[in-house]
Amino acid sequence: MAKKELQEICFKISTISPYIRFVGVIGKNGKLLAYKRKEGIKPFLNAKNTTSQFSHIAIKTGMEREFDKSLGQVEFVWEERKKVQTISFAIGKHKVWVSIDKKVIRSEMLRIIDSCLPLVRNYS
């Protein structure tokens, strides 16, 4: 997938909700291939921790594929943390990782997920 397409995915997802903080496309080796960050916010992770987080996502994605034949492919993963919520989607061998404000209500999270799924499927 071309860099321009990856950047387009990030931009489109970032416009779905004002609560989206960050959208990144992560390669199978954990490298950040494209991203869009909301202006005026401070990232929760420093550079070292960001690299570790993306490596973790890549490893986890590889491990998840082990169960695809039995359980089917992962459509999305929603994670709630104390400071932020994240959702991730697979696009081929890449992972789209979306960080969302913690204060968002669940119905908005579901709306974000429902808006992302067709977009992600379009690029898969």
What's 54's domain CATH number?
Answer: 3.30.450.30
Domain encompassing residue 89:
3-123
- Amino acid found at 74: V
Residue 64's pLDDT is 79
**H-helix or E-strand containing 88?**
strand 84-91
Check residue 74 and give its pLDDT: 84
Global pTM reads 0.88
User: Among 104, 97, 93, which residue's Cα sits nearest to residue 1?
Assistant: 93
Q: Which residues are within 8 A (CB) of 34 and not within 5 positions of it... i.e. 6 or more apart?
A: 3, 6, 7, 9, 10, 24, 25
pLDDT digits (tens, 9 = 90+) for 23-59: 999 988 889 999 999 998 888 877 777 788 877 787 7
Cα 27 from Cα 96, distance rounded (Å): 9
Predicted pLDDT at 101 = 95
Q: How confident is the model at residue 54, as a pLDDT? A: 78
Cα atoms in the Cβ-side hemisphere of radius 13 Å centred on 19: 19
Contact 26, 95 (CB under 8 A): yes
In this predicted structure, what is the pLDDT of residue 102? 92
pLDDT of residue 72: 86
Q: pLDDT by residue (tens digit) across 69-122?
A: 889 888 899 999 999 999 999 888 899 999 999 999 999 999 999 999 999 999
* Tally of structural domains, the chain: 1
Residue 61 has pLDDT above 90, yes or no: no
Query: Which pLDDT belongs to residue 13?
Result: 97
The whole-number pLDDT of residue 37 equals 94
